[in-house]
Amino acid sequence: MTLNTPLETPAVLIHRPQLLANIARMAQLAQDKGIKLRPHVKTHKIPEIAQLQLDAGAQGITCATITEAEVFGRAGFPDIFIAYPLHLSDAAKARLNAFPGKVSIGVDSVEAAKNLAGVRADIKALIEVDCGHRRSGVLPDSPELAQIFRALGDRYAGVFTFPGHSYGPGNAASAAAAETTALQACVEKLGGGLSSGGSSPSAALSSGIDEMRPGVYVFNDAQQLDSGACTPEDIALTVLSTVVSRNVAERRVIMDAGSKILSTDKPAWIAGHGFVQGHPQLRISALSEHHATLFWPAELELPEIGAQLELVPNHACNVINLVDEVHVAGENLSWQVAARGKNS
Amino acid sequence: MTLNTPLETPAVLIHRPQLLANIARMAQLAQDKGIKLRPHVKTHKIPEIAQLQLDAGAQGITCATITEAEVFGRAGFPDIFIAYPLHLSDAAKARLNAFPGKVSIGVDSVEAAKNLAGVRADIKALIEVDCGHRRSGVLPDSPELAQIFRALGDRYAGVFTFPGHSYGPGNAASAAAAETTALQACVEKLGGGLSSGGSSPSAALSSGIDEMRPGVYVFNDAQQLDSGACTPEDIALTVLSTVVSRNVAERRVIMDAGSKILSTDKPAWIAGHGFVQGHPQLRISALSEHHATLFWPAELELPEIGAQLELVPNHACNVINLVDEVHVAGENLSWQVAARGKNS
């Protein structure tokens, strides 16, 4: 796990063999199921990686915001779905009307659907459905579903959901089942339309839907590992970090990667703030802005000050949004995070 | 709390009256105590705000990393302390040797002190001391203290500590006392040198030290409020956000600010992921990358879809590191976050 590299730390590394294997595995899984794959590029925000996903068979991409989608639209990606319940300002409408290429959007209220007046007619909308995550989206048995459908008129293209309650150990199967039930019920009620679902933990269990939109599978992270969605060998993104301080008596080790690169995503069901690659049990016990605190187990040799180690974050999507570039490990190559910070 | 503004959301707003009052209050507090003020600019990463701090009487600034310090050095700030236990690579030494202006650094090990060979002689070093936070720094009674002092030789300039255990309700007084005891013991043991401490929650209680380095006081946030270090009226940074989805029956409101702008910093002692400005009890109950989930209390009118509200984050320092610019509320003015992402 110790590298000999000239990179200044902390730095985000992408391991190409793992990245390509993750992309190929999900593409094969989707193909085997007969479900179209529309990966969510919020995870990487990097056109080069989105192109690898298309090359492997993905049919379009998913974005979270208009500005994120614009980056990929300008880069030539031909079919983009913004999987978010947008409520458009006048400026946002103007940006969508000038969008380079094909784009579709999400809505989950009559207000937002009516507010689409003045938006280009070829920009279709999917209604967001809540299949159990209890975030945005209408419930399948809600009267709002048909009201939004009517307000959309010819703009209606289908329904989508995010089974986010698939995260956490043992949750994937029930979330995937809820996804299928909810989407099928809505399509039946509305007399047709695309059904779009999918999350990385539930993707292997999705069925009976038209397309899926997993994101974090390209990199994987501690959350995916603890959710049972990947193995330690499937992790493609790490943060290279240097040991800067030690308390030898307490076996406390401080590394120079903190919350300003690892982020602080930590659901209650996950232990620690990430782990040392190769040692999934060696978790970061505390995280400051520029310090990761680790207590080194007695059976492992304490690293020297100056040693470089790779850390696996809890949530890769938030790491990507903290850096302007990533480095392809073992290659003299960096990729710009072209859509970093594109929140609106 | 509803604004009429043309900004696309989510967007970081800085409220100038609160900002100036916070800066003036800390400057007065330091002057009254006879303690030099060297604010930590990691909180804002904006030269315009650092200049306001100097104009109000700060004597130098504090940075967290070399690249962050370079941004302020190039902007003409004349006296910068990098309050971090640096272990320098050859490239980092070259950057320090080319540093524009006066800079000092932190060390907390004999290894790091010896590793300063080849660094410009005018770049002084302060030894980091652990006064109870149990992160980096040597303990005051550790034999390493004198060993590092000897390894530094003429480069030695003093000792510094971060009383980070001041965060959390009721912790400030004991942390400030521990800070004074630790720094005074070290200076006495080493026969002199600067003593540097301070954190925003403990600043009002610091005593018997030469300088202090609070950071987040310029903005304040939910952590400072819950730590007892500020009132709701002292909050200078908010995130303007739009209501994009509602479940009226459950009074659930979804806003378009998520972890990619609010960050997910959430110590165990704080409730929620931030709150609605003007309603400190109305906390964000869940945070996704682009969704904040709030359950609206019965006594408050449910906001309409499309309404804009200001959210107060848990930790302003991590919000700043997520955006390229901030907007001065009510003025047609943006400031670039010049040192955003400068982690190494």
Instruction: Give per-residue pLDDT as tens, B211-257.
Output: 999 999 999 999 999 999 999 999 999 999 999 999 999 999 999 99
Task: Identify the band that residue B38 occupies on the pLDDT scale cut at 50, 70 and 90.
Answer: very high
Q: Compare all CA atoms of chain A with the CA of B95 and give the residue at the minimum distance.
A: A8
Tell me how far apart the alpha carbons of residues A212 and A31 are, in angstroms, rounded to a whole number.
Answer: 11
Outline which parts of chain B fall under CATH 2.40.37.20: 230-336
- Cβ of B266 within 8 Å of Cβ of A264? The answer is yes
Q: Using CA atoms, how far apart are residues A203 and B102, in angstroms rounded to an integer? A: 55
Q: How many CB pairs lie under 8 A apart between chains A and B? A: 157
pLDDT at A17: 98
Q: Is B281 helix (H, G, I), strand (E, B) or coil?
A: strand
Rounded Cα gap, residues B195 and B156, in angstroms: 12
Q: What pLDDT does A5 receive? A: 52
Q: Is pLDDT of A187 > 50?
A: yes
| Confidence at residue A50, expressed as pLDDT on a 0 to 100 scale | 98
Chain A CA closest to residue B257? A343
Mean pLDDT of chain B: 96
Tell me which fold the domain A16-219 belongs to.
TIM Barrel (3.20.20)
Average pLDDT for residues B131-139, to the nearest whole number?
Answer: 96
What is the per-residue pLDDT for B6?
75
Interface test with B, best of A247, A309, A326, A337 (most B CBs within 10 A): A247
pLDDT reported for residue B317: 98
Copy the structure tokens of residue A314.
């809890």
CB–CB contact B111 A304 (8 Å): yes
Are A244 and B290 a contacting pair at CB < 8 A? no
Secondary-structure class of domain B230-336 per CATH: mainly beta
| CATH homologous superfamily, domain B17-216 | Alanine racemase (3.20.20.10)
Classify A230 as helix, strand or coil: coil
CB-CB contact of B325 with B334 (8 Å): yes
Confidence of residue B2 (pLDDT cuts 50, 70, 90): very low
pLDDT of B301 above 70: yes
Q: Report pLDDT digits (tens) over B64-105.
A: 999 999 999 999 999 999 999 999 999 999 999 999 999 999
Mean pLDDT of A76-90: 97
Over residues B283-301, the mean pLDDT reads: 97
Q: Give the pLDDT mean for A248-262.
A: 97
Considering CB atoms only, which of A8, A85, A91 is closest to B89?
Answer: A8
Put simply, the answer to whether A135 touches B242 (Cβ < 8 Å) is: no
User: What does the pLDDT average to over B294-315?
Assistant: 97
Three-class SS of residue B23? helix
Is the separation of the CB atoms in B243 and B304 below 8 Å?
yes
Which two three-digit tokens encode residue B236?
């200078």
Average pLDDT value for residue range A116-142: 97
**Mean pLDDT across A228-257:** 97
B135 with A260: Cβ contact below 8 A = no
Residue B4 has pLDDT above 60, yes or no: no
What is the rounded end-to-end Cα distance, in angstroms, of chain A?
38
B114, B105 contact by CB (below 8 A) = no
pLDDT band at A4 (very low <50, low <70, confident <90, very high): very low
Q: Quick one: pLDDT band at residue A3, thresholds 50, 70, 90? A: very low
Q: Which of A8, A164, A289 sits opposite B91 (nearest CB)?
A: A8
* pLDDT above 60 for B3: no
User: Which pLDDT belongs to residue A69?
Assistant: 98
Considering chain A, what is the average pLDDT of its residues? 96
Contact B324 A341 (CB under 8 A): yes
How close does chain A come to B78, measured CA to CA in Å? 24
Contact criterion met (CB < 8 Å) for A112 and B293:
no
A260 contacts in chain B (CB < 8 Å): 318, 321, 341, 343
Dihedral sign computed on CA atoms, order B118, B121, B123, B124: positive
The CATH 3.20.20.10 portion of chain B extends over: 17-216
Q: Where in chain A is the domain with CATH 3.20.20.10?
A: 16-219
pTM of the model: 0.96
Residue A239 has pLDDT above 70, yes or no: yes
